[in-house]
Amino acid sequence: QVQLVESGGGLVQSGGSLRLSCAASGRTFSIYDMGWFRQAPGKERELVAAISWSANSLYYADSVKGRFTISRANAKYTVYLQMNSLKPEDTAVYYCAAGNYGLGSYNYWGQGTQVTVSS
C-alpha cells in the first residue's frame, strides 16, 4: 500500500515556474514507476511525465518536452515535477500516481494539486 500526497501547486504567470512534489508513504515506494498526470476542466486526464523505479527511463508528453522535468529521490520517498516556461494551457489539477508504466497501470493516486497559469 502506498499513500501519495502532492504539494507545490498554485497560481503563476505565464512563463513562470513551479515545482510539484509528491510524498509517498510506505517502504515499497522505490519499486514503483511514478507518473504525473493532469486533468483540465472538460478534458480527459493525460499522462504528462513518468519515471521508472530506477530513474533510468523517462517519458514526457510532447506538450511538455523541454519544459518539464520529472525526478525522484527514493531515499526521501518523493517524486518531483519541475515545470518551467508555464503556459495557460498547462492549467489543470495535477496528480501523481504509482504503478507500472509498461503496463499502463497506476494503482495508487494522490488527491491532486491545482496549477493555474495566468496569461
Task: Quote the cell numbers at residue 109.
Answer: 493516486
pLDDT digits (tens, 9 = 90+) for 6-19: 999 999 999 999 99
pLDDT over 70 percentage in the chain: 100
- In angstroms, rounded to a whole number, what is the distance separating the alpha carbons of residues 80 and 55? 12
Q: What is the C-alpha R_g of the chain?
A: 13
Query: Which residue is listed with cell 503563476?
Result: 12
Task: Quote the cell numbers at residue 3.
Answer: 499513500
- In angstroms, rounded to a whole number, what is the distance separating the alpha carbons of residues 95 and 13? 21
Nearest Cα to Cα of residue 76 among 5, 24, 3: 24
pLDDT digits (tens, 9 = 90+) for 35-65: 999 999 999 999 999 999 999 999 999 999 9
Provide the pLDDT confidence category of residue 102 given band limits of 50, 70 and 90: confident
pLDDT, mean of residues 60-72: 98
Sign for the CA dihedral angle at 26, 94, 43, 65 comes to negative
